[in-house]
Amino acid sequence: FSAILADIKTEALQLRHDAEDLKTFTHNSHLTWESHAQKVTEIKDHVNEAGKLLAKLDSARGSASLWQQEAFDHIVPMMKELASSVEATIEHFDQRPGLLRTGPYVEFADANYELASNSAEVISDYVEYGKSKAKSDELAAKLAVPEN
């Protein structure tokens, strides 16, 4: 479970980086629609890969600890919201490829960045919690500290 969660973290961090690039693209008049299309495709690919990894987590849920199940339950809605936002961005882009620095497209790019940033932070926190918990459990076993 923890290894898959770490893979999701990697996707989330790449997604945040690409979403930040796209947000920056909306302020650069020298970039072509092709640059935007490539970046939106990269973002979509990260969302799709994260979705596949979440499906793997879901199948491992039965053997997950309580905190891991809670992490999954927290992350899934965030990623669904991000996927929906990315989908709306793609639809807008497909319908209006000439309007890349105004209106809804800029708002979609901003929203994607915010959602990607929040998701990356939460997922990173869960990964770090898992590492800390594993280390704590290891030390407790080494020291023969009784459980609560």
Can you give the pLDDT at residue 27? 92
pLDDT at position 148 over 70: no
For residue 130, give both structure tokens. Answer: 């898992």
Q: Which helix H or strand E contains 61, and what residues bound it?
A: none
Q: Mean pLDDT across the stretch 33-46?
A: 95
The model's pLDDT over 99-137, given as tens digits with 9 standing for 90+, comes to 888 889 999 999 999 999 999 999 999 999 999 999 999
CA distance 145 to 85: 47
Average pLDDT across the chain, whole number: 94
Angle between helices 2-25 and 66-95 (to 10 degrees): 30
| Token code pair at residue 24 | 């920056």
**Residue 146 pLDDT > 90:** no
120 burial type by CB count under 10 A (0-12 exposed, 13-18 middle, 19+ buried): buried
Calpha distance 119→124 (Å, rounded): 8
pLDDT of the residue at 24: 96
pTM of the predicted model over 0.85: yes
User: Whose CA is closest to 76, among 92, 91, 61?
Assistant: 61
Q: In this predicted model, what pLDDT tens digit does every residue of 41-74 receive, in sequence order?
A: 999 999 999 999 999 999 999 999 999 999 999 9
Of the candidates 57, 55, 33, 37, the one whose C-alpha atom is nearest the C-alpha of residue 45 is 37
